[in-house]
Amino acid sequence: AETWRDSLNQPRHQPEERMSELEARQAADWIAAEITAGHVAPADVMVLARKRERLGWMHQALLERGIASDEPEKTDLADAPAVQD
């Protein structure tokens, strides 16, 4: 049985969200290791995801590891200049 959660102070986390956040942290660890090993430059890394919120988690995970990252834009991906090219 679930315990009571104060929804004003404690966000609800769905199992799928937790797995996606874990995947973002694991991917950020791998990217950090590749950069540290000299196998790739940070500017040469692009992360793609099916859902924008996952890119937000990746952005946060990269920042936590000291890797500069651009936060995903709030516009539709199809309207992004890189996609238009």
**Which stretches within the chain are classed as H helix?**
15-36, 52-64, 81-84
Rounded to two decimals, what is the model's pTM? Answer: 0.66
Lowest-confidence range among 17-21, 27-31, 40-44, 47-51? 17-21
DSSP summary character for residue 43: G
pLDDT at 77: 63
DSSP summary character for residue 62: H
